[in-house]
Structure 1
Amino acid sequence: MSQTATFETQIPNRLDRLPWGRFHWLVVVALGVTWILDGLEVTLVGSLAGAIHQSPALRLTETQVGLTASAYLIGAVGGALFFGWLTDRLGRKKLFTLTVLVYLVATIATGLSWDFWSFAFFRFLTGAGIGGEYAAVNSAIQELIPARRRGTTDLAVNGTFWAGAGMGAGASIFLLNPAVIDPELGWRLAFGIGGALSLSVLLLRRWIPESPRWLMTHGRKEEAEKIVGDIEAWVARDRGPLPPVEGAPIRLNPRSHTTLGEVASTLFRTYPRRAVLGVVLMACQAFCYNAVFFTYALVLTRFYGIEAAHIGWFMLPFALGNLAGPLLLGPLFDSIGRKPMITLTYALAGLLMALTGWAFAAGLLSAWQQTLAWTVIFFFASAAASAAYLTVGESFPLEMRAMGIALFYAIGTGVGGVVGPALFGWLIQGGDRTHIMWGYLLGAALMLLAAFTEWTLGFAAERRSLEDVARPLSHAGEDSTLR
């Protein structure tokens, strides 16, 4: 699959030695908004669950509310795999433009739904756009951010999911207030928020270049060198003279594409320990997050008697705790290291979730106490979940990075995320606190399993070049990659 003659390049070293500047802020804002959109979608449906359940047009049962959440996640799985495959073949920039367009159309269409099946279908398409975004955007961000700031930046960007969650919760407070607007119209208008936000994203992304790392492995050396030169000039205008380039150049034998057979061989023969680690981290956090957040509005309305219009007030503390976790703990993943911090955050979240599940079953918590408990738990769980995405992005070679992210997102979401909301919707509809407690204990056990797996199979990637953590498949020199 060689495309051009073997060549040497300093592109990775040139990008990693850059001081932080306005270019990096543009990358974070324009691409990182993906997580805001996902947080907006998840929390809107969680906060609007009561209103959607009571909608005379839709008339969804608790189980159907859980099933529509699963439809969103199934779409995210399919979108991640399909668009992730295209991202590695066609480039990062084309796909992070296409996927946000899919999301824009689908989320607006959701607000026009007329029954369960139309609502579930449009949620499926919305998820497909978001799933594709995760693959295209995660790979692009990691390839453009300097190595010494990659962990901090990736966790902070993933944490902005909860800025979107806060927007969704706040919007629901206003749009479900009968004194302001008819709730039947309000929940429909809420889905237009994401559409409006994604329009501004399209404009910002015009200024984001193609990943030079992707270009160099596909033999487009001159184009990659020009983009890096433009980035260097931009940063130099912002920060002054740049530090010298250090480190040996990388030697590449570029290729046009990577086959699915090579992807499978790399995952399960070259990096089997990393493959197991990625599956466990992604699946365990996906089960806990999606099980709790897609159905917590139902818990509040059924067991605590909270009105649907007031759900947003209880979602806001969730969002703040989840946003604060990656922002405050993120720098420790670059200083203390990935392995100890991922282990610690998963373990703390699991232990606290088990305690909260028991207290809920015993009837010891009020609605606000329950919400405070989840806020503390997901302060740690949010950092852990963000680190899972960081781990699968760093674990595998550049030529299959988007597909790797997509595959593990799909496996994690399919195993943990799709089952969780449907299971908890069914448990809540049964009305037995003890049964719901067992669901929470299952989630706690999974988080503890993830902590043990990280401690056993985790590896050091902090402050290291992506090409050092996982050698490109097109690398023409001796392979010294850690297994």
Structure 2
Amino acid sequence: MAQQQQQQQQQQQLQVLNALDVAKTQWYHFTAIIIAGMGFFTDAYDLFCISLVTKLLGRIYYHIDGSPTPGSLPPSVSAAVNGVAFCGTLSGQLFFGWLGDKMGRKRVYGMTLMIMVLCSIASGLSFGRSASGVMATLCFFRFWLGFGIGGDYPLSATIMSEYANKKTRGAFIAAVFAMQGLGILAGGMVAIVVSAAFKNRFQAPPYSVDRVGSTVPEADYVWRIILMFGALPAALTYYSRMKMPETARYTALVAKNAKQAAADMSKVLQTEIEEEQGKVEQIASSNTFGLFSSEFVRRHGMHLVGTTTTWFLLDIAFYSQNLFQKDIFSAIGWIPKAATMNALEEVYRIARAQTLIALCGTVPGYWFTVALIDVIGRFTIQILGFAMMTVFMLGLAIPYHHWTTPGNQIGFVVMYGFTFFFANFGPNSTTFIVPAEIFPARLRSTCHGISAATGKLGAIIGSFGFLYLAQNPNPAKADHGYPAGIGVRNSLFLLAGCNLLGLLCTFFVPESKGKSLEEISGENEGKDDIAGDNKTVPV
């Protein structure tokens, strides 16, 4: 019975799309992964490198002349510098997600990359007559940098899903997203190299005060070089993106141009593909419902609820962890107090700590997903990831005072690294993959953009909220029985709760392993039919 249904669906399927679904892994698959993945490499570098330099910004621009303590960014300024890019990313995901369905994936793809290149350079050239002027300029350019990054999410995911075959589609999309881990790793490595180069050239005493506060004036170059480096990988990818043909699913199912779709994919697959204009018109005429229609709500409403809520809850935890690692490491004593180091030494130590976490926990998690997602499925990986993140967060929070005792910090770091591993071998990967698979072609980029934007709303809450939650609520009593960092413990409990809710919301999301995109979305069905597997939640 199942075999008969599969044969019937293949007969309904356009030849050009069926050829993509059953294609063996070829060089064009790897080319698409590299082209789309380099965008995500740049996205991650640009979003997370700011956390490496915020303490340096505080030392340079907020040191009080004559004060023996290093300067630091005021909480409101720190929240703005860390979170403004996410506000731009949210806007970009909604705008470019919608535009990708209206104008085509390829036509919009180059726009996002150019915005990223220009704004990365401009961020490093931020200027102003005062500290607040420099921070305002930096926030302005990082907002527009985030706007370009936002467009990369729905477009990269949609392009890769529409190019891939159904057998290994999950691994290909996951490989694109795994470049985010390499981008985070690259950010740490660049910061290590740049800070070490300046530190070795301009040796300062362990603690010295001059006009920029506990550092040499040349340290102002460090954060600018780190931010501007993000323009390089994006610029190198631009030409390749412009040479990619439009995806056949957009050309056939949205633009309704069967001839162009067949011609493009004949070149890509190096085989003759028949154009089927009549079948294209038939499929298009039976799928005309819009995003705000009752038909969409009936078919995909709960799916959109599932993809948005899980991404929202995941990003509260994931971005809080990434952006404020330095604060957590300082709270547990893994990084020495600022007053014991000059500024360049502090940047070096923060970058080294974050690079170690990325190397041991973050990056392996992504590639475990690549290896196993088409074996055990998206649903299982997401449930496992949320569950293990909850366990490890509670394992950090409940005995928190034990972990902050001198000599136990390494145990904290190991468990903390496991939360990153299971975030990436878990919901951080699957929440990106699933929205690119389960919605119709004409709404795929839009729905992915909505899901991703909801995630970035969670990131904004995480980046602004964690900054305040992690503060010691009783700083005046820190030496009288109230250990410094008690706010970090409370925030870990809250993040564990977010992960547990994310696990429950996963039950709204269907499994898409091993099925064609049209089979999952029901685009090959009649107007009143819904693909059987879209009616139920996999368990």
Deviation at 1:42?
2.9
Partner of 1:23: 28
Given candidates 420, 426, 447, the residue that maps to 1:404 is: 447
Q: Does 1:117 align with 2:136?
A: yes
Counterpart residue identity of residue 479, structure 1: D
Given candidates 269, 283, 297, the residue that maps to 1:268 is: 297
Deviation at 1:9?
2.6
Mapped partners of 1:372, 1:87: distance in 2: 41
Any stretches of 5+ residues in structure 2 without a counterpart? 1-11, 64-71, 128-133, 203-217, 274-278, 337-345, 476-483
Q: Does 1:460 align with 2:511?
A: yes
Q: Does 1:97 align with 2:110?
A: yes
Given candidates 384, 392, 416, the residue that maps to 1:344 is: 384
- Check 1:29–1:265 CA distance in 2 against 1; reply closer, same or farther (3 A cut): farther
Given candidates 92, 97, 104, the residue that maps to 1:79 is: 92
Mapped partners of 1:119, 1:315: distance in 2: 23
Deviation at 1:272?
2.5
TM (normalized to structure 2)? 0.80
Q: Report which structure shows greater RCO (CA 8 Å, sep ≥6).
A: 1
Q: Matches of residues 95-244 of structure 1 in structure 2 within 5 Å?
A: 95-114=108-127, 115-177=134-196, 178-180=199-201, 182-217=218-253, 218-233=255-270
Mapped partners of 2:432, 2:422: distance in 1: 15
Look up the SS of the partner of 1:209 in the other structure.
coil
Given candidates 335, 345, 365, the residue that maps to 2:375 is: 335
Mapped partners of 2:518, 2:13: distance in 1: 14
Counterpart residue identity of residue 126, structure 1: L
TM (normalized to structure 1)? 0.89
Any stretches of 5+ residues in structure 1 without a counterpart? 1-6, 237-241, 244-248
Look up the SS of the partner of 2:243 in the other structure.
coil
Q: Does 1:308 align with 2:347?
A: yes
Q: Is the 8 A contact 2:41 2:182 kept in 1?
A: yes
Look up the SS of the partner of 2:168 in the other structure.
helix
Q: Is the 8 A contact 2:110 2:241 kept in 1?
A: yes
Look up the SS of the partner of 1:262 in the other structure.
coil
Q: Is the 8 A contact 1:151 1:334 kept in 2?
A: yes
Deviation at 1:52?
2.0
- Check 1:175–1:370 CA distance in 2 against 1; reply closer, same or farther (3 A cut): farther
Q: What's the CA shift string for 1:105-163, capped at 9, x where partnerless?
A: 11111111232211111111111111111111111111001111111222222122110
Given candidates 520, 529, 534, the residue that maps to 1:469 is: 520
Counterpart residue identity of residue 449, structure 1: L
Q: What's the CA shift string for 1:248-298, capped at 9, x where partnerless?
A: x7774448x989x53464553322221221122101111011111111123
Deviation at 1:334?
1.2
- Check 1:99–1:475 CA distance in 2 against 1; reply closer, same or farther (3 A cut): farther
Partner of 1:377: 419
Deviation at 1:70?
1.5
Q: Does 1:281 align with 2:333?
A: no
Q: Is the 8 A contact 1:49 1:297 kept in 2?
A: no
Q: Matches of residues 349-364 of structure 1 in structure 2 within 5 Å?
A: 349-362=389-402, 363-364=404-405
Rg (Cα) greater in structure: 2
Counterpart residue identity of residue 161, structure 1: Q
Mapped partners of 1:453, 1:374: distance in 2: 24
Deviation at 1:215?
0.5
- Check 1:89–1:145 CA distance in 2 against 1; reply closer, same or farther (3 A cut): same
- Check 1:367–1:129 CA distance in 2 against 1; reply closer, same or farther (3 A cut): farther
- Check 1:126–1:258 CA distance in 2 against 1; reply closer, same or farther (3 A cut): farther
- Check 1:373–1:252 CA distance in 2 against 1; reply closer, same or farther (3 A cut): farther
Mapped partners of 2:295, 2:414: distance in 1: 43
Partner of 1:246: none
Mapped partners of 1:347, 1:206: distance in 2: 41
Mapped partners of 2:13, 2:422: distance in 1: 42
Q: Is the 8 A contact 2:379 2:511 kept in 1?
A: yes
Mapped partners of 2:181, 2:497: distance in 1: 24
Q: Is the 8 A contact 1:15 1:146 kept in 2?
A: yes
Q: Is the 8 A contact 2:185 2:355 kept in 1?
A: yes
Deviates more, 1:61-70 or 1:144-153: 61-70
Partner of 1:3: none
Deviates more, 1:52-61 or 1:154-163: 52-61
Given candidates 52, 57, 82, the residue that maps to 1:52 is: 57
Look up the SS of the partner of 1:113 in the other structure.
coil
Given candidates 327, 335, 358, the residue that maps to 1:298 is: 327
Mapped partners of 2:109, 2:413: distance in 1: 35
Deviation at 1:476?
5.9
Given candidates 351, 355, 358, the residue that maps to 1:319 is: 358
Q: Is the 8 A contact 1:392 1:408 kept in 2?
A: yes
Q: Is the 8 A contact 1:39 1:164 kept in 2?
A: yes
Mapped partners of 2:184, 2:451: distance in 1: 23
Partner of 1:35: 40
Deviates more, 1:338-347 or 1:139-148: 338-347
Deviates more, 1:143-152 or 1:107-116: 107-116
Deviation at 1:198?
0.8
Q: Does 1:395 align with 2:438?
A: yes
- Check 1:266–1:480 CA distance in 2 against 1; reply closer, same or farther (3 A cut): closer
- Check 1:105–1:281 CA distance in 2 against 1; reply closer, same or farther (3 A cut): same
Deviates more, 1:166-175 or 1:329-338: 329-338
Deviates more, 1:374-383 or 1:322-331: 322-331
Q: Is the 8 A contact 1:107 1:194 kept in 2?
A: yes
- Check 1:172–1:112 CA distance in 2 against 1; reply closer, same or farther (3 A cut): same
Q: Is the 8 A contact 1:76 1:124 kept in 2?
A: yes
Q: Is the 8 A contact 1:42 1:293 kept in 2?
A: no
Mapped partners of 1:366, 1:308: distance in 2: 24
Q: Does 1:480 align with 2:535?
A: no
Mapped partners of 1:8, 1:408: distance in 2: 27
Q: Is the 8 A contact 1:8 1:251 kept in 2?
A: no
Partner of 2:207: none
Q: Does 1:64 align with 2:77?
A: yes
- Check 1:8–1:158 CA distance in 2 against 1; reply closer, same or farther (3 A cut): closer
Mapped partners of 2:288, 2:185: distance in 1: 40
Counterpart residue identity of residue 49, structure 2: L
